[in-house]
Amino acid sequence: MPVLQDNLVKAKDAASKIDADVYFYNGTIEHPRDLTTIEAVHSHAGRKKAILFLVTNGGNPDAAYKITRYFQEKYEHFTIVVSGKCKSAGTLIAVGAHELAFSPYGELGPLDIQLTKVDKFDQLQSGLTIQDSLNTLEGRALEKFYEIVKDYMQANNGLLSFSSATKAASDFVTQLYAPVFSRIDPEEIGARARAMRIAADYGRRLSVKSQNLKQDTLKLLAETYSSHSFVIDRQEAETLFVRVRSTDKNEAAVIAALGRPARFELPDFAFHALSKRPPDLNKAETDDPSLKGRSPSKDDGNTERANGTAVPKTKKSERRGRTKNGRAVKEPTNGGARSRVN
């Protein structure tokens, strides 16, 4: 269901009591939605603080990184309000925030990259699955090796030398596991290992500005949780982040006004500036030529595209983008990407 106009009116009224630029993002994080967000923030930014109500099941880590970098560039203080599901790529954005505010229902998720399965490009699996599989095979092989050595020594009452026992055990384990290990593609393992580093690499860069991570947080988020859907609530987040708090009464009022869209990801993308645009910015000019020509709408300075409830639906292979010299320019989607923090 889309964000109803009545809900937005109430949410904007609640946001007017907050001394910050207040935004609401609901949907998958992907290209070109990062551009939509950046353009809207550029046309609306005017205060030193920003608060982003972020609801997402995840998406593209590159898009998440670009959105977060821009918020860090435009604002001295950046807060993420975790009002509902803010998973995976949403967690990567949270890594770049100076502060996290949780509602009782809010939850983050692990940062393990989701990769397409080999020969099953319509299905995703955690990048940790292969590593866990290798660790399990290695552990089982070693366990079986030591078990056989012990059995050989005991069965021969110590008459069999240790070297002979280990040689026999090694031959047995090799024959047992060789068919399994022969199916492993080293190049595929290496490629997936590199993809797994993207969340940690982006996280390290974002945390330089946010300074909100405790020791080993990125490693814990990227490698240690047992499921991609693992719930990281406020109490769990306090073990990972330095500045974590509950939502205040004004933030809670915005969440209540938005309703279910503040809890769950919508089928259609929605991005809104909920706070009023500072009056002294009504005639502000941009220094970035690529962002010129996008006039603020009558609704508190949002761009026309960002102020709607969704990006217009088009063919899967393209989205309608900006116009140039009166002609529509088509922007390719990121459908070919193999990795997602989803």
What is the Cα–Cα distance from 201 to 218, expressed in whole angstroms? Answer: 9
pLDDT at 34 over 90: yes
Residue 274 has what pLDDT? Answer: 97
What is the Cα–Cα distance from 94 to 165, expressed in whole angstroms? Answer: 54
Per-residue pLDDT tens over the stretch 114-136: 554 445 444 444 544 555 556 67
What is the Cα–Cα distance from 7 to 258, expressed in whole angstroms? Answer: 5
Percent of the chain with pLDDT over 70: 70
| Pairing mode of beta strands 49-55, 21-26 | parallel
User: pLDDT-based confidence at 334, cuts 50/70/90?
Assistant: very low
How many beta carbons lie within 10 A of that of residue 189, not counting itself? 13
Residue 341 has what pLDDT? Answer: 64
pTM attached to this predicted model: 0.69
- Please state, in angstroms and as integers, the Cα–Cα distance from residue 238 to each residue in 99, 206, 339, following that order: 11, 19, 28
Return the exposure string of 272-287: e unless at least 16 CB atoms fall within 10 Å of the residue's CB, then b: bbbbbbeeeeeeeeee
What is the average pLDDT across 58-70? Answer: 95
More confident call, 97 vs 195? 97
Residue 176 has what pLDDT? Answer: 81
All residues at 6 or more sequence positions from 161 whose CB lies less than 8 Å from its CB, including other chains: none
Per-residue pLDDT tens over the stretch 203-222: 999 999 999 999 999 999 98
What is the Cα–Cα distance from 107 to 16, expressed in whole angstroms? Answer: 25
Q: Are 168 and 152 in contact (CB under 8 A)?
A: yes
Residue 30 has what pLDDT? Answer: 96
Per-residue pLDDT tens over the stretch 244-258: 999 999 999 999 999
Q: Are 305 and 36 in contact (CB under 8 A)?
A: yes
What is the Cα–Cα distance from 86 to 318, expressed in whole angstroms? Answer: 26
pLDDT at 321 over 50: no
Residue 338 has what pLDDT? Answer: 46
Per-residue pLDDT tens over the stretch 155-169: 877 677 888 888 888
- Domains delineated in the chain: 5-115+198-340 (3.90.226.10), 118-187 (no CATH)
pLDDT at 333 over 50: no
What is the Cα–Cα distance from 110 to 121, expressed in whole angstroms? Answer: 22
Query: What is the DSSP track for 83-143?
Result: -SBB-THHHHHHHTSSEEEE-TT-BB---PPEEEETTEEEEEEETHHHHHHHHHHHHHHHH
DSSP code for 249:
H
Residues forming beta bridges with residue 124, ordered by sequence position: 116
Query: What is the DSSP track for 34-74?
Result: HHHHHHHHHHH--SSEEEEEEEBS-B-HHHHHHHHHHHHHH
Per-residue pLDDT tens over the stretch 281-308: 655 544 555 555 554 444 443 443 454 4
- Adjacency order of strands within the sheet including 99-102: 244-246, 99-102, 77-82, 49-55, 21-26, 270-273
